[in-house]
């Protein structure tokens, strides 16, 4: 089964679809994702690209890690 990350979906939607994504994203530097309150509030409006921009995380590196973990990246 292909696990596809749609970069237009919110972090909340993606973690609902792939619960293991929360741990991966935390390792990458999305520390707030471990906090259920943050995930249920900011996660509902934040996409991975927006989060990278706000936190100064390289989107290319995030894509690389997700690909290594078996995800396929769908871009707009």
- Annotated domain spans of the chain: 3-69
pLDDT in tens, 27-46: 999 999 999 999 999 999 99
What pLDDT score was predicted for residue 33? Answer: 92
Strand (E) or helix (H) holding 73: strand 71-74
pLDDT at residue 64 is higher than 90: yes
Query: How much is the pTM?
Result: 0.91
What pLDDT score was predicted for residue 1? Answer: 74
The arrangement of secondary structure in 3-69, i.e. its CATH architecture, is Orthogonal Bundle (1.10)
Q: Is there a contact between 28 and 67 (Cβ–Cβ < 8 Å)?
A: no
């Amino acid at each position: 089964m292909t696990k596809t990350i749609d970069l237009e979906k919110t972090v909340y939607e993606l973690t609902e679809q792939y619960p293991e994504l929360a741990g991966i994203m935390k390792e990458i530097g999305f520390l707030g994702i471990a906090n259920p309150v943050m995930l249920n509030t900011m996660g509902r409006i934040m996409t991975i690209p927006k989060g990278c921009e706000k936190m100064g995380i390289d989107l290319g590196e995030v894509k690389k890690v997700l690909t290594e973990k078996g995800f396929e990246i769908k871009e707009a």
